[in-house]
Amino acid sequence: MAAVADLGHGVGLRREHFEHVLEGRAGVDWFEVISENFMVRGGRPLFVLDRVRRDFPVVLHGVSLSIGSTDPLPESYLAELAHLIDRTEPAWVSDHLCWTGVGGHNAHDLLPLPYTEEALRHVAQRVEQVQERLGRRIALENVSSYLEFQGSTLHEWDFLAELAARADCGILLDVNNVYVNARNHGFDPHAYLEAIPIERVWQVHLAGHSDRGTHLLDTHCSKVCDAVWELYRVACRRFGAVSSLVEWDDQVPDWEILAAESASARRIRGEVLGAARVAAAGGAG
């Protein structure tokens, strides 16, 4: 499977920062945009997207593909996505390993799947159909979850790795979500990272979460916590130079704070990969 480009370190483009970014003061390498926010006919959102795309690599990140739903694949949605892909020419396209609704209804949430052979077959087949429809491979992101199904027979990480192999798709590895799920479900996050095939990881997500006492909630409303940065360090050692992206969706801060988070990702990856290069050079000598 051909590797995708390392875009460096980016952030999610949010409307609170439109002005700042258009003024050319971004200071990040690339942007990820929520596909559905730009599936509109005109106005400021598309103007901003076109301007940003002129100056930066852009990745389309969807929230409504509902790849795990037992409803038919949403053809009109795929047509709109294909149109947006043509317009934007993104570096790649991603969505989530989840379902968002059933019976023609949409919860607008990333709902968990049981990790079973039945679900694996179902999702793999649908990923293949989507990739055929879009004429390109996609990446799927592991989601945060707050429950486990009794029927699950596979570990989440095995399900994700096997899905990527069967459907020949990429993985958007959300390190925060790995951490949240590890805490919520009591597994070792390092075992998760170890199980993910290196060549499948196209991108890494980083974000903040909230501690609700009984569980961690993936709120994207705060800085990346130290434990997630540590896990990112581990991910850098394992996966190497993979594009990173900081998400911040609620209580969106000033640009400087968000950019500083992206700079932290850059610094950490630099430290890890720099150290690896030094070690390799030392070993060769």
To another protein, the closest distance from the beta carbon of 229 in angstroms equals 25
CA distance 110 to 88: 25
* Residues within window 222-281 making contact with another protein, judged by CB under 8 A: none
The residues, any chain, with a CB within 8 Å of residue 202's CB and separated by 6 or more, are: 4, 92, 94, 139, 170, 171, 172, 242, 243
* Interface map 60-89 toward another protein (x if CB under 8 A): ----x-x--xx---x--x------------
* Residues within window 176-195 making contact with another protein, judged by CB under 8 A: 184-186
The site that binds another protein (CB under 8 A) totals a number of residues, namely 48
214 lines the binding site for another protein (CB under 8 A): yes
Of 119 and 172, the one with the shorter C-beta distance to another protein is 119
To another protein, the closest distance from the beta carbon of 131 in angstroms equals 18
* Interface map 120-159 toward another protein (x if CB under 8 A): --x-----------------------xxxxxx--------
111 lines the binding site for another protein (CB under 8 A): yes
CA distances from 125 to 80, 142, 186 (A): 21, 18, 30
Of 82 and 102, the one with the shorter C-beta distance to another protein is 102
User: Cβ of 45: how many Cβ atoms within 10 Å?
Assistant: 17
To another protein, the closest distance from the beta carbon of 102 in angstroms equals 4
Place of tokens 């990429």: 170
The residues, any chain, with a CB within 8 Å of residue 274's CB and separated by 6 or more, are: none
Q: 79 in helix, strand or coil?
A: helix
* Residues within window 24-53 making contact with another protein, judged by CB under 8 A: 36-37, 39-47
Farthest-apart Cα atoms in the chain, separation: 63
User: Cβ of 74: how many Cβ atoms within 10 Å?
Assistant: 18
Q: Can you state the angle between helices 75-88 and 44-55, rounded to 10 degrees?
A: 50
Binding another protein (rule: CB under 8 A), the pick from 108, 135, 188, 285 is: 108
Per CB under 8 A, residues contacting another protein are 36-37, 39-47, 64, 66, 69-70, 74, 77, 99-109, 111, 113-114, 116, 118-119, 122, 146-151, 184-186, 213-215, 217
